[in-house]
Amino acid sequence: MILFIFSIDHHLQFLCKKFTNSHNAENKKYPSLSPFLRHDSLRRSLAYHKLPQPCLNLSVLKLDGSCFDVQVPRTAKVAELKEAVERVFSQLQNHREITVSWSHVWGHFCLCYNDQKLVDDKAYIGLYGIHDGDQLRFVRHLSFNYMI
């Protein structure tokens, strides 16, 4: 753990030094700020994003009434949640000879949380108010009425 932190810190110091050398003109604009203040926030923000994100433990209710659990990072987008569902479901079906067409599944069904359909793959799941321990469910996404 100490070696990992040291290597990140060493890499960040290198980036900060490179940033300082390549931005001398910008440094002249703000002479009252010390180089430490200008670049320490960059260093801390880069280090913060390197930390592993804690996972949300979610339950998914299938159309047949059975459930399975899935884990995703707290900062996951809907697309990442769907990929995690596919992985877990595939592992559950591993002993069976069933092939799932996920493009068909996602074309006709979507995940839902508190009557909110999670259809925007680029949206962060936190925007829907999803928290650790919550349950999502599959619902019909598209409904076609054919008149003959």
Dump pLDDT digits (tens) for 38-75.
Answer: 455 555 555 555 566 689 999 999 999 999 999 999 99
Band of the pLDDT at 2, cuts 50, 70, 90? very low
Output the pLDDT for position 54.
83
Task: Give residue-wise pLDDT tens across range 94-136.
Answer: 767 778 889 999 999 999 999 999 999 999 999 999 999 999 9
Domains, the chain: 2-49 (no CATH), 55-140 (3.10.20.90)
Tell me if 125 sits within 8 A of 72, measured CB to CB: yes
Quote the CA–CA distance of 109 and 97 in Å, as a whole number.
Answer: 22
pTM: 0.61
Tokens representing 21 are: 């050398």
Residue identified by tokens 């900060």 is 16
Tell me if 134 sits within 8 A of 57, measured CB to CB: no
Comparison of pLDDT for 1 and 64, the residue scoring more: 64
Quote the CA–CA distance of 111 and 109 in Å, as a whole number.
Answer: 7
Q: What is the mean pLDDT of residues 86-96?
A: 81
Output the pLDDT for position 82.
97
